[in-house]
Structure 1
Amino acid sequence: MSSAEPEAQAESQLPKALAEPTARVRPGWTSLLFLANIGLWLGIYAPIQVLLPEQAELLDSAHKEVVFGLVTGIGAVVSLLANPLVGLASDRTRSRFGRRHPWTLAGAVAGAAGLVVLALAGNVVVMTIGWCVVQAGLNGMLATLTSTVPDRVPVEQRARIGGLVGIGQMLGTVLGAVLVTVLITSLSGGYLACAVIVVVGAALFVLRTPDIALPRDWPLARWRAVLADLWISPRRHPDFAWAWGCHFLINLGNALGTFYLLYFLKDAVHYPDPDTGLLIMMGLYGVALVIGGLLVGHLSDSSGRRKPYVFASVVVMTLAALTLTFWQTWPAALVASPLLGIGFGAYWAVALAILIQVLPAASERAKDLGLINIANLLPQVLAPLLATIILANLGGYAGLFGAAAVTTFAAGALITGVREVR
């Protein structure tokens, strides 16, 4: 008997919820996942990009950067805990409604409740509480939505679907900016509209797609053992560690380059209408991201190669950050926006496929992807703190975008350590 035969036999004995998927997902399923991701990221980034900065300025105009950094930083700490813990809980859920769907809907409702709190917040304390509730709910939803990709999508489709997930994230950002700067201009109305969209997107996905349940008699490890396994040893799983580090640096560079764009347009570029300027930048960014994500997703799945596209995306995103490092003007912003978009879209097209390939165990997909999502979320904690220091002491916005360039370029070095992926 060959060494591959016992592995194939073990795979065949897994319940359907844990087995490697082989059936291609259909456009209807993909579309609903795409819409749910748009709603999720709109609920996170419309506040981060526009509503929270405006609310911070309204509550304390003299210390708006500090208030914004404090609120987003504390909320991001909550997200770091919520993502792997909700993922862990969903891995162990044996509901007849499935493992992921109950947590997806519960997370959306909790996130919407937090957005309502923000709409009513009259001081920084309530604002902070509201944002923490949003981060807890929506990051729980993120853990389970991300897990549906390895649960349902075969290897040969993962770059295309991963690209659409990345496009959903950025399109949610762009549509969120449009929603709260053009369609709804009141602060409370913007928060409430985000809450409705989050719930509708999650409900459509949960109610219109199947979620494979674990068998009732499937044995589960004790909670103590599972919680101890939250740590994944870089020595035992080096590819996981290298991929995590690359993902972390890419997202840190992106956060440093995008979190303070509204203030950048106001205070450095002196654009006469910063809200409209941000909308234009995000529009260019979004169109370029869709092009990069769809094109690279197709090329990567067709060739079976992932890493070359990471290298290319790193170079493009670094050029975008360097453009704003040396030229803090409106024309430079118009050049940097599509460069960053096409680079980030290309990266996301292959990122999820790479990260899924290095997961240690099928039985703990959501927990492990929750740990990977920390690489997406931890920059939300660090970026405001680092940006505050850089803006005050290390060169202002030139220093901030320079740091984004260095951080992004360093990610390309880390991806070379991943051996399982071509």
Structure 2
Amino acid sequence: MNAAPTDTPPQRQSRWFLALFALAAAGGAVAYVPLLTVLLPQRIADLQGGEDVAALAQVTFLGALMASIANIAVGMLSDRSRTRRPWIIAGLIASNLLLLAVGRAESVAEIVVLVMVWQVALNLMLAPLMAWAGDCFPDEQKGVLGGALALSPALGALAGSLVTYAGLVAPEARLMLVAVLVSALVLPAVVLGKGRERPALMAPVLRTREPRPFRQRVVARMWAARLLVQVAEGGMFAFLLYWLRSLSPDYPENGAANVFSAVLVCAVPISLLLGRWSDRHGRPIQPLVATAVLCACGMLVMAAADTLVLAIAGYVLFAIAAAIFLALHASQTLRVLPAPQHRARDLGVFNLTNTVPGMVMPWFTVLLVPRFGYGALFVLFAALSLASAVLLAGFVRRR
């Protein structure tokens, strides 16, 4: 691969823009976490007169499928237009309007259609937003950018708690509050970020005749490593409460939610420290290897746990490590993508590691746990996390 020549190296971004971009990325999480985890299941229950797991599974699966396709397609369009901010604003407006429409749906069939269209609009915002980071932040800031991205799942979880907090807002106004929060988080970076792109980071890369270049193998390793950790993280996200109640039948529902939120909040400062360390020492992959190994350790503790205290300790270790891994991986992916002119499209391919596990892991877990128990599932997840670490460690050695 040969890059087009540039006159000057890319300049570092100021801290204020880094902070605004982190908030904008968190706005993307706030756009979907409260809806998919709390508000959508409740809306389906209201329409059906009770919990309907099949209807929720259908909405989730079709929505994830549409998100996978839309992220790649929108990414290609924003690459071709060589601009990001207009797409982000259009996606913000469209997704907010469709979010409000979900609250007015009168049937599950209508919800299915609206959520599928909403996923397209949401990815109209998310796909160019993450590609914009690659246009703006040089490699020397990729680590601290990844640390800042850990804010996204934390604020997403906190937003879910906020909009459902008793007495704060009426149930019919919750989706409006979500739309307001998303707008407040996304718009400052988009409005004030004009001209923050770095031409050296957007210069097209010309292909050579080199067979299977090293960078493409690095991309494949990065993709597979993230997928393996996402499978483990997605499986735990879906069945955490059920597992804890298998150890303690009286474990409260809000207990799992509180542990989940606390873990994500704790991951933010650690991610920032590790990201800054990787920038200063020029070692972008080492924190990923370390956190993947810690994910496996946490899973093995969970597999061996026979008390609630040990179980929660193992989960906390796993969940903090996984949150750090996914945040730092998201920014370091921008470092290894082979062609800036296809950055958003390639990020859409990486986005499959987020959506595919959510579509397949719940069904896989249902087949595995009744026969072998949760311990076997956790050992499998630990093996996947170790495989992720091996993939990335091999890349470090070859560098």
Question: What interval of TM-score do these two structures reach, taking the shorter chain for normalisation?
Answer: 0.7 to 0.9
Does 2:105 align with 1:128?
Answer: no
5+ residue gaps, structure 2, are 205-211
- Aligned CA distance change for structure 1 residues 322 and 189 (closer, same or farther; 3 Å): farther
Residue identity opposite 2:59 in structure 1:
V
Does 2:151 align with 1:168?
Answer: yes
Aligned partners of 2:108 and 2:13: how far apart in 1?
45
Whether the aligned pair in 1 keeps the contact of 2:222 and 2:333 (CA below 8 Å) is yes
Q: Mapping of 1:167-316 within 5 angstroms?
A: 167-182=150-165, 184=168, 188-211=172-195, 237-262=216-241, 264=243, 269-271=248-250, 273-274=252-253, 276-316=254-294
Whether the aligned pair in 2 keeps the contact of 1:24 and 1:157 (CA below 8 Å) is yes
Residue identity opposite 2:110 in structure 1:
V
- Aligned CA distance change for structure 1 residues 23 and 212 (closer, same or farther; 3 Å): closer
Matching residue of 1:74: 62
Which stretch of the first structure deviates more once superposed, 253-262 or 34-43?
A: 253-262
- Aligned CA distance change for structure 1 residues 264 and 134 (closer, same or farther; 3 Å): farther
How many residues align? The count is 389
Matching residue of 1:148: 132
5+ residue gaps, structure 1, are 14-19, 221-232
Aligned partners of 1:412 and 1:331: how far apart in 2?
27
**Which of 125, 134, 138 matches 2:122?**
138
Matching residue of 1:159: 143
Aligned partners of 1:397 and 1:180: how far apart in 2?
32
Whether the aligned pair in 1 keeps the contact of 2:23 and 2:152 (CA below 8 Å) is no
Matching residue of 2:350: 372
Whether the aligned pair in 1 keeps the contact of 2:229 and 2:384 (CA below 8 Å) is yes
- Deviation readout 1:330-361 (Å, 9 max, x if unpaired): 43453244313431243145313431222111
Residue identity opposite 1:24 in structure 2:
R
- Deviation readout 1:24-57 (Å, 9 max, x if unpaired): 1112211211111111102222223323344455
Matching residue of 2:209: none
Whether the aligned pair in 1 keeps the contact of 2:11 and 2:198 (CA below 8 Å) is no
Residue identity opposite 2:353 in structure 1:
A
Residue identity opposite 1:253 in structure 2:
A
- Deviation readout 1:134-186 (Å, 9 max, x if unpaired): 32222232211211222111111110011211x12221232123213426576
SS of aligned partner of 1:169? helix
Which stretch of the first structure deviates more once superposed, 147-156 or 189-198?
A: 189-198
- Aligned CA distance change for structure 1 residues 401 and 348 (closer, same or farther; 3 Å): same
Whether the aligned pair in 2 keeps the contact of 1:93 and 1:214 (CA below 8 Å) is no
Does 2:385 align with 1:408?
Answer: yes
Aligned partners of 1:377 and 1:173: how far apart in 2?
17
Residue identity opposite 1:178 in structure 2:
S
- Aligned CA distance change for structure 1 residues 414 and 187 (closer, same or farther; 3 Å): farther
Aligned partners of 2:240 and 2:49: how far apart in 1?
17
Deviation at 1:301, TM superposition (A): 0.9
Aligned partners of 2:165 and 2:314: how far apart in 1?
23
SS of aligned partner of 2:395? coil
Does 2:9 align with 1:12?
Answer: no
Whether the aligned pair in 1 keeps the contact of 2:233 and 2:319 (CA below 8 Å) is no
Q: CA RMSD in A?
A: 3.3
Aligned partners of 2:46 and 2:384: how far apart in 1?
32
- Aligned CA distance change for structure 1 residues 121 and 400 (closer, same or farther; 3 Å): farther
Matching residue of 1:223: none
Deviation at 1:236, TM superposition (A): 8.1
SS of aligned partner of 1:92? helix
Identity %: 27
Aligned partners of 1:310 and 1:57: how far apart in 2?
40
Whether the aligned pair in 1 keeps the contact of 2:136 and 2:196 (CA below 8 Å) is no
Aligned partners of 1:44 and 1:421: how far apart in 2?
39
Aligned partners of 1:90 and 1:45: how far apart in 2?
25
**Which of 287, 299, 302 matches 1:321?**
299
- Deviation readout 1:358-377 (Å, 9 max, x if unpaired): 21112111111221122222
Deviation at 1:272, TM superposition (A): 5.3
Aligned partners of 2:246 and 2:50: how far apart in 1?
14
SS of aligned partner of 2:11? coil
Deviation at 1:417, TM superposition (A): 4.5
Residue identity opposite 2:6 in structure 1:
S
SS of aligned partner of 2:6? helix
Aligned partners of 2:171 and 2:307: how far apart in 1?
28
- Aligned CA distance change for structure 1 residues 420 and 370 (closer, same or farther; 3 Å): farther
Aligned partners of 1:147 and 1:395: how far apart in 2?
42
Aligned partners of 1:177 and 1:234: how far apart in 2?
44
Deviation at 1:316, TM superposition (A): 1.7
Whether the aligned pair in 1 keeps the contact of 2:12 and 2:138 (CA below 8 Å) is yes
Output the TM-score relative to the length of structure 1. 0.81
Aligned partners of 2:236 and 2:17: how far apart in 1?
33
SS of aligned partner of 1:182? coil
Residue identity opposite 1:306 in structure 2:
P
SS of aligned partner of 1:270? coil
**Which of 100, 115, 119 matches 1:116?**
100
Which stretch of the first structure deviates more once superposed, 244-253 or 368-377?
A: 368-377
Whether the aligned pair in 2 keeps the contact of 1:21 and 1:152 (CA below 8 Å) is no
Does 2:84 align with 1:100?
Answer: yes
Matching residue of 2:317: 339
